[in-house]
């Protein structure tokens, strides 16, 4: 109780969330008197950044810098605009489609929000969209990343659960389409509420030119997905290959990026990565404190004693993960949760591990946009200059739509298993 009170006190005092998590760990150590834990605290802090999957994050952010400098991201936006721009509120739908394209490139919610905040938000603001709503739509679109391949979350889950990564990618296709469709409905509602402007219709010749110009940019998602699914490269290596390809396209094909812009791109990527990785490291320290108390194992035992229904178990698990995702970063949470709950889900309730994996990855990613930790939420605020509290309020309809998708996935396992079984 004292630790929980300290947590909210630090937040109310305006202490940055990363430092709040470190201070909370120190408060817990002082309350319990386990001063020996202080010797392990630095090790746990750096251990939070030693996950191999995190190496892809700086490279994906660098890819975003090259895409932005080389005009690649803008051409993908132009491609989406050529397809959907004539609709009222077209740029909002273009934002979602571009996010879906980026999800097939990046596979990381934080990296995707970082890139799209630089590309999509300025375009929407110039067209007359409210800046806070534009940032909220962009941040919500980042939630497509953990479902649409290549998904970093699926890769980590597959390694821990010892499941084929390719099958996990296939299992996420239908839920990803469902999420995208629900987001389209939310954007349509927001368009009526905020009076989104109409985009002038694009001539047929200009539309064809946009498609032609986007072809080199379309090589990047094919390169990433192809090298990963073909077993040629890991996601980290694929990110490095894609970053090099983006630099080549920007320098020699589109010729919008100069050699002088390469070093600033590395510097910007380093700064953005430092902020995100520091927050992940402090979240790892906080999750270490929870693990030391053996809390996940006790909660799993308690849930098992409450119900024998697989659906009720998944609904209860969704509520637990939603709360857990608010205070723990998804990658440490997966490492913490999967070994505890997967045996219970498959052995006791007979739940398909792929259905379990899709629900786990989707639910935990919600924590990236929910306070108090909300790495993606604070990333969007950092990149756009809009207050995190404002973004958190505006993305509530998107979170509600994802909650509906999670309920459907719990009641109908075929949504995440039928396509995989078919192949």
Which CA distances in Å does 345 have to 8, 124, 163, 277, 340?
A: 33, 44, 15, 31, 9
> Residue 244, class by beta-carbon neighbours within 10 Å (0-12 exposed, 13-18 middle, 19+ buried)?
middle
Contact between 368 and 114 under an 8 Å Cβ cutoff? The reply is no
For the chain, report the end-to-end CA distance as a whole number of angstroms.
50
DSSP 8-state class, residue 214? H
The pTM of this model reads 0.72
* Contact residues for 166 (Cβ-Cβ < 8 A; gap 6+): 229
Neighbours of 408 (CB within 10 A): 14
The enclosing H or E element of 106 equals none
Provide the β-strand partners of residue 88: 198
Q: Where are the domains of the chain?
A: 1-39, 40-422
Considering Cα of 24, then 26, then 29, then 32, what sign does the dihedral take?
negative
Contact between 361 and 151 under an 8 Å Cβ cutoff? The reply is yes
Contact between 199 and 84 under an 8 Å Cβ cutoff? The reply is no
Selection from 150, 125, 364 nearest residue 239 by Cα: 150
Q: What is the pLDDT along the chain (423 residues), one digit of tens a residue?
A: 555 566 667 766 767 667 777 787 777 777 777 777 777 777 777 776 776 656 777 887 788 778 778 877 678 777 877 777 666 777 888 888 888 877 766 666 777 787 788 778 888 888 788 898 889 999 888 888 777 776 777 877 887 788 877 788 788 889 988 999 999 999 989 888 888 887 777 777 878 888 888 888 888 878 877 787 677 887 778 878 988 999 999 999 998 888 999 999 899 888 877 876 787 777 677 667 666 666 666 766 777 788 878 899 999 888 888 888 877 777 767 776 787 788 888 888 889 999 999 999 999 888 878 877 677 888 888 888 888 888 888 899 999 999 999 999 999 999 989 887 876
Which CA distances in Å does 344 have to 49, 113, 165, 353?
A: 29, 34, 21, 11
Q: Which long-range contacts (CB under 8 A, 24 or more apart) does 243-249 make?
A: 243/59, 243/62, 243/63, 243/66, 245/219, 245/220, 246/63, 246/66, 246/67, 246/70, 246/72, 246/220, 247/66, 247/70, 249/70, 249/72, 249/216, 249/217, 249/219, 249/220
pLDDT number for residue 290: 63
Considering Cα of 117, then 118, then 119, then 123, what sign does the dihedral take?
positive
pLDDT number for residue 5: 65
The CA distance from 222 to 154, in Å, is: 18
């Amino acid at each position: 109780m004292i630790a929980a009170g300290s947590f909210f006190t630090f937040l109310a005092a305006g202490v940055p969330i990363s430092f709040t998590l470190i201070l909370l760990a120190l408060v817990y150590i002082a309350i319990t008197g386990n001063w020996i834990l202080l010797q392990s605290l630095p090790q746990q802090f750096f251990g939070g950044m030693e996950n191999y999957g995190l190496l892809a994050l700086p490279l994906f952010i660098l890819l975003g810098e090259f895409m932005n400098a080389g005009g690649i991201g803008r051409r993908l936006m132009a491609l989406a605009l050529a397809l959907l721009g004539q609709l009222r509120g077209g740029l909002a739908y273009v934002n979602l489609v571009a996010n879906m394209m980026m999800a097939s490139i990046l596979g990381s919610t934080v990296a995707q929000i970082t890139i799209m905040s630089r590309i999509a938000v300025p375009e929407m603001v110039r067209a007359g969209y409210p800046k806070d709503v534009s940032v909220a739509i962009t941040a919500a679109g980042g939630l497509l990343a953990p479902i649409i391949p290549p998904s970093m979350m699926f890769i980590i889950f597959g390694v821990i659960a010892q499941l084929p990564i390719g099958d996990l990618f296939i299992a996420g296709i239908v839920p990803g389409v469902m999420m995208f469709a629900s987001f389209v409905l939310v954007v349509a509602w927001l368009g009526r509420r905020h009076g989104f402007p109409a985009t002038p219709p694009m001539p047929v010749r200009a539309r064809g030119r946009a498609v032609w110009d986007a072809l080199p940019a379309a090589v990047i998602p094919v390169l990433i997905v192809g090298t990963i699914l073909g077993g040629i490269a890991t996601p980290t290596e694929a990110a490095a290959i894609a970053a090099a390809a983006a630099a080549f396209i920007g320098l020699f094909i589109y010729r919008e990026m100069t050699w002088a812009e390469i070093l600033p791109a590395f510097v910007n990527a380093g700064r953005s990565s430092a902020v995100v990785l520091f927050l992940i490291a402090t979240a790892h320290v906080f999750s270490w404190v929870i693990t030391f108390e053996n809390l996940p194992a006790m909660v799993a035992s308690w849930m098992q004693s409450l119900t024998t229904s697989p659906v009720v178990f998944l609904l209860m698990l969704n509520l637990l993960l939603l709360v857990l995702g608010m205070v723990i970063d998804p990658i440490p949470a997966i490492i913490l949760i999967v070994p505890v709950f997967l045996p219970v889900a498959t052995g006791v309730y007979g739940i398909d591990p792929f259905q379990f994996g899709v629900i786990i990855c989707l639910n935990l990613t919600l924590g990236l946009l929910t306070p108090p930790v909300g790495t993606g939420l604070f990333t969007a605020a950092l990149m756009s200059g809009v207050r995190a509290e404002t973004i958190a309020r505006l993305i509530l309809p998107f979170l509600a739509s994802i909650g509906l998708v999670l309920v459907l996935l719990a009641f109908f396992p075929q949504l995440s298993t039928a396509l995989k079984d078919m192949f």
